[in-house]
Amino acid sequence: MNATQRSGLSVSIQEVSQIFQSNVVALEDLNFSIVAGEFVSILGPSGSGKSTLLRLIAGLDRPTKGSVSVSEGSTAYVFQESHLMPWRTLEENVQLPLELLGKMDKARVDSAILQLGLSDARHRYPHQLSGGMKMRTSLARALVTSPQLLLLDEPFAALDEMTRQKLDEDLRALWERTGMTVIFVTHSISEALFLANRTFVLSAHPGKLILDRKLEIKPGKRDWSVKTSPEFNREMTLHYEAIK
């Protein structure tokens, strides 16, 4: 990971439905496009198809109907669990994607570790890390290849509130520095609004896009205090009304 600006990827979803074998309509007739460099949060209750949608965008699954297209470039995926290899140190976990690509680059590993604030812990093993540090390591591992599209599926849901807020702030700052496109799945409305510039809300059974909104919250650097602003509260109300 380095500070050079790389353009993000764009995503286009047209008339997409995903129906599973037991006739579960996980997603129904979705249409949207995401332009390069956007930060989009996807909100919705459990079972509304958020993970299904992220998997389609990642190319892990194909839709039953419609088309998913993502511009050419590199993608990284972060899951709710950190999925670290217990026999590898933090540093060895972060460098893994570069090893797999045959493109080991010590400077990139150092930079990713530094940007996630993990330098002092680089030689520790996963069992010696807190939950927040494990998730930071997982993020550093995702960012080490300088992805142009970062997909995150409820990555911070298991963390305590203060650790989660700090990670949200750091992720938002990383996004600002890199210009990558970020799609972040969460069921926390306040987290979604804090992070993103645009939100999608999915309904449950079937998963339909019931809100696609450009947020009217100040762009640029954000810290926790934005959550006390009138514009943030207006967005909270609007999203609660849409979801209930």
Question: ω before 63 within 30° of 0 (cis)?
Answer: no
Minimum distance of ligand ADP from residue 131's CB (angstroms): 21
Q: 29-58: which residues touch ligand ADP (CB under 6 A)?
A: 44, 46-52
154 in Cβ contact with 186 (< 8 Å): yes
- Helical packing angle, 131-143 and 106-115, nearest 10°: 140
Minimum distance of Mg ion from residue 141's CB (angstroms): 21
18 in Cβ contact with 76 (< 8 Å): no
Closest alpha carbon to 76 in 138, 119, 118, 33: 138
Judged by beta carbon distances under 5 to 8 A according to partner kind, the member of Mg ion, ligand ADP, none in contact with residue 147 is: none
- Residues at the contact surface with Mg ion, assessed by CB under 5 A: 50-51
Minimum distance of ligand ADP from residue 6's CB (angstroms): 29
Q: 1-30: which residues touch ligand ADP (CB under 6 A)?
A: 20, 24, 26
Judged by beta carbon distances under 5 to 8 A according to partner kind, the member of ligand ADP, Mg ion, none in contact with residue 145 is: none
Q: Which is nearer to Mg ion, 48 or 178 (CB)?
A: 48
In this structure, what token pair is assigned to residue 16?
Answer: 């997409």
135 in Cβ contact with 165 (< 8 Å): no
**Which residues sit at the interface with ligand ADP, rule CB under 6 A?**
20, 24, 26, 44, 46-52
